[in-house]
Chains A and B, each alone.
Chain A
Amino acid sequence: MSVETPATYSNEVDRPFPPIAWLSSAALGVVIVGGILMASYAPRRAPLGIAEGLLVAGLVLLGAAAFLLFRLRDFAWRTFTTVFKWALLAYVITAGMIEFAFVRDHTRGTSLVVVTLMLVVFALSVPLTIGFTVARFAQPD
C-alpha cells in the first residue's frame, strides 16, 4: 500500500497517512502489558507462553508500522531520521536501565531473552512514533 500525497507541499493541509503511529503505540502497549506480567511474577518465573504471545504481537505490530512507514513516498525522511535517532538514543538508555535491573535481579535464560526482546520493541516503538508524528507534518524531502 502506498499513500497518494499532493505533489506540492502546503503546511496548511494535513496529508493522509496510514495508521503508523497507532500501530507502533499498540506495539508499545502490548509489550508494556508483557512487562507488567513478567514483573508481577518476579522473583518467580512468569508463564512464558503468555509473555511470548504478547512479544510476538508486539513484534508484528511494530513490523507492520515499519512496513507501512518504509512504503511512504513524499515523506520528510530527513526530519524523521533526525528525530528518530535522538529519541532512539534516549530510549536505548532507558531500556538499558530496565535490562540492567532485570539482570541484576538474576533474570536468566528464556525469561531474559523475552524481556530483552520486549525492551527492543519498547526502544524502537517510541522513537518511531515520535519521529513519524513530527515528520508527517514536515516538508517532504
Chain B
Amino acid sequence: MTDRIDVKAVPSHHGPAPDRPKIQVVPLRGLPVAALAVVFVVVAIAGNWKWALMFSHVVGGGLWTGIDLFVGFIVGPILGRLSIPARAEFSARFMPKMVIIMPTVVMMTLATGFQIARKLGNLAVASPNHPWLIFSFCVVGIMAVVALGILEPANIAVLYEMNKPVPNGERIGRLMKRFIYTSGITGLMQIATLVIMTRVATQ
C-alpha cells in the first residue's frame, strides 16, 4: 500500500477529551464481501476453473496496482495540502476501509496468479515467461514485507491512537511517516509489476 497520508492530525492536548465518534478499526460491513471473495477464490482453485482464476487475478491485480498508485501519487499529495482536521477526518474514514480492501485484493491476486502460471505452463523452466515470473515473485515479496511488516501495523496503530480520549498527534505523525518513506518503493514495485505482467501476457 502506498497510502501517503500524513496525519499529524490530532494534536496532543490536556484537559477534557473532545467528544469524537469512535473509529471502527475493521469495518464489519465489509467482512461479508471479503468472505465472498475468499470463497470465490477457493472454488476457482478447487475447480481449476480457468475463467474464475483469470477473473480473480485480473480484478484483484488491477485494483491492487490501481489503488496503490492512485493513493500513493494522487490522493497522498492532495491530502498533504489539506488542513489538519480535514486530513484527520479523511483518514479516520479511509484507513479502516483499506484494512479490509487491501488484504482481500492481494489474496485474490496472488492465490489465483500462481494457479494461472501453473496451468499455462509459465512455471516450467523452458517457458520464456519463467524468468519474468521469478522476478514477479521477488517484487511481490518486497511489497509483502513492506505492507505486512511495516505499513499494516502502523495503519492499525494509528487507528487505535485516534480512538484514544487524548491521542498523541506527534506519534500519529511519526507512524504515518512510514507511508511516505515506503511509497516510493511500493510505487516502483507496482510499475515493475505492470511491466512484468504485460511482458508475460505478450510473449
Q: Do A and B bind each other?
A: yes
Cα distance A29–B148 when bound, in Å? 10
Shortest C-beta distance, B147 to chain A (Å), equals 10
- Asked if B166 is at the interface (CB within 8 A of a chain A CB), the reply is yes
| Known contacts A39-B137, A133-B154, A126 near B168 by CB under 8 Å | no
A126 engages B156 (CB within 8 Å) = no
Complex contacts, B145 vs chain A, CB 8 Å:
25, 28-29, 32
Residues of chain A from 16 to 49 with CB closer than 8 A to chain B in the complex: 21, 24-25, 28-29, 32-33, 35-36, 39-40, 42-44
Residues of chain A from 84 to 106 with CB closer than 8 A to chain B in the complex: 86, 90, 93-94, 97-98, 100-101, 104-105
Complex contacts, B124 vs chain A, CB 8 Å:
43
Cα distance A101–B164 when bound, in Å? 41
A36 engages B137 (CB within 8 Å) = yes
Q: Which of A24, A35, A101, A125 gathers the greatest number of chain B CB atoms within 10 Å?
A: A101
Shortest C-beta distance, A86 to chain B (Å), equals 7
Interface size band for B: 35 or more
Cα distance A88–B177 when bound, in Å? 26
Closest to B99 in A: A90
B103 engages A94 (CB within 8 Å) = yes
Residues of chain B from 104 to 137 with CB closer than 8 A to chain A in the complex: 107, 111, 114-115, 118, 123-125, 133-134, 137
| Known contacts A42-B118, A42-B123, A126-B148, A98 near B111 by CB under 8 Å | yes
- Asked if B16 is at the interface (CB within 8 A of a chain A CB), the reply is no
- Asked if B45 is at the interface (CB within 8 A of a chain A CB), the reply is yes
Q: Which of B133, B141, B153 gathers the greatest number of chain A CB atoms within 10 Å?
A: B153
Cα distance A39–B130 when bound, in Å? 11
Closest to A33 in B: B141
B138 engages A43 (CB within 8 Å) = no
Mostly, the A contact residues are helix
- Asked if B144 is at the interface (CB within 8 A of a chain A CB), the reply is yes
A101 engages B160 (CB within 8 Å) = no
- Asked if A8 is at the interface (CB within 8 A of a chain B CB), the reply is no
Q: Which of A33, A39, A44 gathers the greatest number of chain B CB atoms within 10 Å?
A: A39
A36-B141, A100-B45, A130-B156 given; 17 more Cβ-contact pairs under 8 Å = A11-B166, A14-B171, A24-B149, A25-B145, A28-B144, A32-B145, A35-B141, A36-B134, A42-B114, A42-B118, A44-B125, A90-B103, A101-B111, A104-B45, A104-B115, A130-B152, A137-B161
Binding site for A on B (CB under 8 A): 12, 26, 38, 41-42, 45-46, 103, 107, 111, 114-115, 118, 123-125, 133-134, 137-138, 141, 144-145, 148-150, 152-154, 156-157, 160-161, 164, 166-168, 171
A-B pairs, top 8 by smallest CB distance, nearest first, are A25-B149, A133-B153, A36-B137, A130-B153, A32-B141, A133-B157, A29-B145, A40-B134
Task: Give 18 pairs: A residue, B residue, CB < 8 Å, sorted on A.
Answer: A21-B153, A29-B149, A36-B134, A39-B114, A40-B134, A40-B137, A42-B123, A94-B103, A97-B41, A98-B111, A100-B42, A100-B45, A104-B46, A105-B115, A125-B149, A129-B153, A130-B152, A137-B171
